[in-house]
Structure 1
Amino acid sequence: MFKAAVIGGLFCSVVIFGHFNIHSTKVNANETEFKKNQELQSQVTPIIDGEIIKFFKENKTINNVGTNVPNYEEFSNFATIYYDNEKSQVVFNVIKNTSEMKQIEIDLTDKLGSKVKFTNAKHSFKELEEINTEIFEKLKNRGDVSTGIDTKNEVVNIHANLSIAEEKELVDLYGDTINILPSDGIIETR
């Protein structure tokens, strides 16, 4: 009887601590992934800023000192930038492939290698912002609507429980710029 209790206790300990160690490993993997992505962003951001400022800059006063900084608002007319954490890359979705953008691509590819990728954009971020606002305004009174921009896939995600007719109307208006998903209970977020 005593042997059975000791063996049972050891088995429970192994199961409990084994489960804890598996969970702990998952948490550590998530923390490691987060730190890896944070490190990538801290490495590439100053280099990206340095290249963008060559063509898109504005003068700002910081601590009573005038200084040039990247003008990302103007730059957004030419490309959208996002970090692809799965591939450890910064991605430029190029809207207008001007001589400035070609030079930025050459310089960043030279400096960052496989950490940077340039693709041709289907839609500008500003276009998606406008569509996001229009759709949200159109549907917000329903109470089961959430919209947001998916930069990587270049679409506006719409979380709402829509009828087939409502979905068809939105698809007819916005085409491949939208992705309709069932509502998950989130109310009026944008």
Structure 2
Amino acid sequence: SYSPLDHSRLWLHMPVTAALASGLARCLGPAETDVCFTAGLIHGIGKIALSAHSPHVLQDAMEQARQEELPLIEIEKRTLGFTHVEVGVQIARTYGLSEQLINVLENCYAREQDEISDPLSGVICLARQLASSWGFSDGICDGALMSRDKLFALLKISQKDLDEWTPELREKMELVVEA
């Protein structure tokens, strides 16, 4: 559900997502764990920018999304003409981040009807979902996310794989939370 903007939740969600993304990359095999960590850490930069620059605008969009039961990005696009995803991508481009990271920012809020082919984006999507389902959501609901089955297919993993990795992933998450 939507709630008033809670910066502490938003700030905790991002490093938790980063730790989970890095852990997932390690579990998946030869993957770029540092890139996954960085992508997890910055995936919400557009939300942070909007909340810092125009907190009431973001809160109004969140409330409208809750009332209309629509994803936040649809309300942002309709009322503001842009989304927090687009803000994050623009920030990344302005600061010369790699196209790989920009691609993740464009895709890490993928919804069920979206198509993504980049496994790194899939890792971040799954890490975001895990962070939220394990009690570390950013407090800003984004509507219907891409299904786990679709992410599992993209990453070529199963629920059994995730179940086996869960103790290690939870340990990494706890290290961030306790820091």
TM range (shorter): under 0.3
Normalized per residue, the structure richer in strand is 1
TM-score (norm 1): 0.24
Larger Rg: 1
Q: Relative contact order: is structure 1 or structure 2 higher (C-alpha 8 Å, sep ≥ 6)? A: 2
TM-score (norm 2): 0.25
